[in-house]
Structure 1
Amino acid sequence: MPTPRLLARALAALALALATVVALSIPASADPSWWRGPAPTQASISAERGPFAVSSTAVSNLSTPGFGSATIYYPTTTTAGTFGGVAISPGYTASESTIAWLGPRIASQGFVVITFNTNSRYDQPASRGDQLLAALDYLTGSSAVRSRVDASRLAVMGHSMGGGGALEAAKDRPSLQAAIPLTGWNTDKTWPEVRTPTLVIGAENDSVASVSSHSIPFYNSLTNAPERAYLELNNASHFAPNSPNTDIASSSIAWLKRFVDDDTRYTPFLCPGPSVSSFGSVSDYRATCPM
């Protein structure tokens, strides 16, 4: 039998080996101090609500500099540290209500989310990009929940012209950690200026912003983004993002977690990504495989 001293040495060596394996499994760029919530599963990122209880507060357009009235959704906990912030814009002629479902769904996964009405329902993508950035500045600078938000970890999303606005915002503010255009529309089809990890979500049957002239060219042109992915919703229309959609939610949550929270536990949901099938809900998926 080994002596107590030899047994102690063996246990110490085993502990060191396990610590080394754990350290090697986390890339040097990852910062676990930003991770929020338990280890994810496909069920957890697809669920209508995540692990955090959420509250919301309405903001009058009299209080919002640079954008319209808004709603802020935030985790109620005050013991989990600060959270990343996400701003979401609606599309052309649409109101905040069309993208409101994303607010509590994303916030419940550990983010502070602001959804808003644009100054005018006819605002073009460049204006919507400015409003996305103004919403983030309000969220982190003067909102009632500003102390809950980490101003260095921010992201933008948007539908249609709001998606085009998300690309505009990422171009204008390279410090953003993630951008997600949802069936995005923009007259500008090329985005080599963007240096933000970007998930482009298109819809196969989009007759307003067809994937062949919008989402796919957007994705192909993001050559300077450190990571990019393209997800195409099978048999879906331009307006798929206007109602709860599990593929939009789960892929967006994984993207935000991976790049806003630097949470490498979400990498397997993005690389290799969702399965593609003519009988499934995803008709195309491409990615640079973030690691």
Structure 2
Amino acid sequence: MQHPHTRTTHRPRRRSGSRLAAAAAALTAVVGLTALGGPGAHAADNPYERGPAPSTASIEALRGPYAVSEVTVSRVAVSGFGGGTIYYPTSTADGTFGAIAVSPGYTGTQSSIAWLGPRLASQGFVVFTIDTLTTLDQPDSRGRQLLAALDYLTQNSSVRGRIDSSRLGVMGHSMGGGGSLEAAKSRPSLQAAIPLTPWNLDKTWPEITTPTLIFGADGDTIAPVASHAEPFYNTLPSSLDRAYLELNGATHFTPNTSNTTIAKYSISWLKRFIDNDTRYEQFLCPVPRPSLTIEEYRGNCPHTS
């Protein structure tokens, strides 16, 4: 867990009037530059912090503090996955951002998870919603495609200069959710994984070392939580930063349309583990209680990484 730095305040020496005036002018200039830095003026003790201090309203909002641009990536211009759309903060004032690749599910295209692109990017991430090589690809293939998409993002994309390649994550729906587990298993350097109503024939995931938030749905009949999301969560290492959120009154396809609960906790998880931003810990710990939208939430608190 990150420990706050200790700050020591020194009493200034007595200065002449002219020196005091000069010091005040310099301070004003520094404050002015900070104010011009955009939404991401951040604390020196965490260089990865982006955006203003969060609130419940800010993480539930349809858009965060960053204006978002997008670029379409043709499938003929890439290899290893089916192209997609990159959403990214328009401003470069805050330096680089963490990045996330998102896979659709079985028979799905990127349109089924497109809402996550601008919603997450406006909070300070580069987000790549991808199409897969075929709509029938299985989870292991989708996992490889998520990693190929991240490699394209960081090495060849037009926005690669905006990305910190050490701060990457994966998300996916259904078989894409199963694919996000596959990706985390094969690339332990990933900082976060979020499977959304995931489907996979592999039920045990003790190899994963990436902080993982799994969303299940109480009304899921395609990937029922009892045989998918719950055993996936239960077999993650107990020492891992992990969480299971079962959506109340939801179905397998709930992640295919804009959803405040999915957005709120995904943003908090990605900020907490990709950006190491402990300002978002308050939304994850203590664990959220059951509500109109949450059937159940399990997780370890406080988080360790």
Fold in common (TM above 0.5): yes
> In the alignment, is the contact (CA less than 8 A) between 1:87 and 1:136 conserved in 2?
yes
Aligned ranges for residues 14-53 of structure 1 at < 5 Å? 32-53=46-67
Of residues 257, 262, 287, the one that matches 2:276 is 262
CA distance in 1, matches of 2:86, 2:166: 18
CA distance in 2, matches of 1:65, 1:141: 13
> In the alignment, is the contact (CA less than 8 A) between 1:87 and 1:155 conserved in 2?
yes
**Secondary structure, in 3 states, of the residue corresponding to 2:101?**
strand
CA distance in 2, matches of 1:272, 1:221: 22
The gaps in structure 2 that reach 5 residues or longer are 1-8, 12-43
* Equivalent position of 2:296 in the other structure: 284
Aligned pair 1:157/2:157, yes or no? Answer: no
Aligned AA for 1:170? A
Aligned pair 1:186/2:200, yes or no? Answer: yes
**Secondary structure, in 3 states, of the residue corresponding to 2:62?**
coil
* Equivalent position of 2:38 in the other structure: none
Aligned AA for 1:283? E
CA distance in 2, matches of 1:243, 1:102: 9
* Equivalent position of 2:265 in the other structure: 251
Aligned pair 1:57/2:71, yes or no? Answer: yes
* Equivalent position of 2:217 in the other structure: 203
Of residues 101, 116, 120, the one that matches 1:102 is 116
Of residues 206, 213, 237, the one that matches 1:223 is 237
CA distance in 1, matches of 2:210, 2:283: 19
Deviation at 1:32, TM superposition (A): 1.2
Aligned AA for 2:161? S
Aligned ranges for residues 132-143 of structure 1 at < 5 Å? 132-143=146-157
> In the alignment, is the contact (CA less than 8 A) between 1:196 and 1:225 conserved in 2?
no
Deviation at 1:235, TM superposition (A): 1.4
CA distance in 2, matches of 1:115, 1:203: 22
* Equivalent position of 1:169 in the other structure: 183
CA distance in 2, matches of 1:226, 1:94: 31
CA distance in 2, matches of 1:31, 1:240: 38
Corresponding pairs, count: 263
TM score, norm. by length of structure 2: 0.84
CA distance in 2, matches of 1:225, 1:62: 42
The gaps in structure 1 that reach 5 residues or longer are 1-10, 14-29
Aligned ranges for residues 119-134 of structure 1 at < 5 Å? 119-134=133-148
Deviations 1:3-26 (A, max 9, x none): xxxxxxxx858xxxxxxxxxxxxx
Deviations 1:42-82 (A, max 9, x none): 11011000000000000100112110021000001111010
> In the alignment, is the contact (CA less than 8 A) between 1:193 and 1:224 conserved in 2?
no
CA distance in 2, matches of 1:253, 1:200: 13
**Secondary structure, in 3 states, of the residue corresponding to 1:208?**
coil
Alpha carbons of structure 1 residues 224 and 137: separation in structure 2 relative to 1, 3 Å: farther
Deviation at 1:226, TM superposition (A): 2.6
* Equivalent position of 2:20 in the other structure: none
Identity %: 63
Aligned pair 1:69/2:83, yes or no? Answer: yes
Of residues 213, 225, 229, the one that matches 2:227 is 213
Deviation at 1:274, TM superposition (A): 2.5
